[in-house]
Amino acid sequence: MQRVRFWGTRGSLPVALTAPAVRQKLIAALRGASGRVFESDRDVERYIDGLAFDVAGTFGGHTACVELVTGGTEYVACDLGSGLRPFGQAAIARHGPAAPQTYHLFVSHVHWDHIMGLPFFGPAYIPGNRVIFYGGHADLEAALRRQMDPPSFPVDFSVFRAAIQFVHLAPDRPHDVAGMRVTLKRQHHTGDSYGYRFEKDGRVVVYSTDSEHKLTDPRERLDFAEFFRDADLVVFDAMYSLAESISVKADWGHSSNIVGVELCQLARAKHLCLFHHEPAMDDAALAKMLAETQRYEEITRTDSYLRVSAAYDGLDLAL
């Protein structure tokens, strides 16, 4: 396992950066540049690189799709959110449409935001490619076919020209897929969701989204800590604040930054990546949440440091 690339990081539905939001970023950047002299493009780039991420960049708006670069020749990704489209386009651009590729796609669950990218996944339309869907839900294939049935989409699932395969994976025991050891864990979410633990070459990545932690069952807390144990990276559903997640948004199937830090510390994980961002949160709000989460990690740190970051579309993490 070498890298993790984030193609979609938003929860529930895609969002787009608006013109007023871009204007605010420009105002902030230009105000900061007042009085400066830029001798070259490199000077401009250096200035931009020094700006806060929520001013110079954006957390992005595609729904869940996370690529694992395993070191093998085949592609691996988690979830089929709208980020699946740019993931597929990038793969086609890398190899050209004529070179057959294999795609292993792991699905957390079949709610719309996690499957909406599939009809726009270019590699599925190309003969010679192999696309293999993995999941813990018995109705995975039916759900993927149904979203393309008329009148919801112009063409149905049968137009895919790649070789399509569905593989059901039972939770709580390891499976060998694409040179990885893959273990699923059932999570609290309406209709269930599944977290994935991927292990290869001594590296561990956990993908745990759309997962509510009830805080009432000590056994469950220990089970998740074991699932996250010593992970190099935990991609974690931190959609809501703790207060929201246990009050007005209880039973909505999501978790918080606070619980993410606590579980990762208990598991002695190395890196927590906040994921499945609330669509109502703009870049400034997400940057604030990240800073607060890093501070919470600092407050609660015992003997080992937990790196905390926030996923954004385009983030490319080395393991």
Partner 1 sequence: MQFQSRHFGNIAVATPAGRLDHAAAVPFEQALSPLWQDQQAAGLVVDFSNVEYISSVGLRVLMIAAKQMRARKARVAAVAMQPIVAEIFAISRFDSVYEVFPSLRDALAAMSPTALTAYDGS
Q: Using CB under 8 A as the criterion, which residues of the chain lie in contact with partner 1 when the complex forms? A: 215-216, 218, 221, 241-244, 246-247, 256-259, 262, 292-293, 295-296, 299-300
**Closest by alpha carbon to 82, among 11, 164, 160?**
11
Q: Which is nearer to partner 1, 202 or 218 (CB)?
A: 218
Q: Which is nearer to partner 1, 121 or 296 (CB)?
A: 296
Q: Which is nearer to partner 1, 20 or 218 (CB)?
A: 218
Burial of residue 2 (number of CB atoms within 10 Å: 0-12, 13-18, 19+)? middle
Residue 304: CB minimum distance to partner 1, A: 17
Residue 15: CB minimum distance to partner 1, A: 21
- Beta-bridge mates of residue 271: 307
Q: Which is nearer to partner 1, 11 or 86 (CB)?
A: 11
Q: Which is nearer to partner 1, 283 or 297 (CB)?
A: 297
Residue 139: CB minimum distance to partner 1, A: 33
Residue 5: CB minimum distance to partner 1, A: 29
Give every CB contact of residue 125 below 8 A, 6+ residues apart in sequence.
159, 160, 161, 162
**Closest by alpha carbon to 179, among 163, 160, 202, 162?**
202
Residue 307: CB minimum distance to partner 1, A: 17
Distance of alpha carbon 53 from alpha carbon 4, whole angstroms: 20
Tell me the residue ranges of DSSP E strands in the chain: 3-8, 65-69, 75-78, 102-107, 130-135, 163-168, 175-177, 180-187, 193-200, 203-208, 233-237, 271-275, 307-310, 316-318
Residue 290: CB minimum distance to partner 1, A: 11
Q: Which is nearer to partner 1, 156 or 244 (CB)?
A: 244
Distance of alpha carbon 127 from alpha carbon 97, whole angstroms: 9
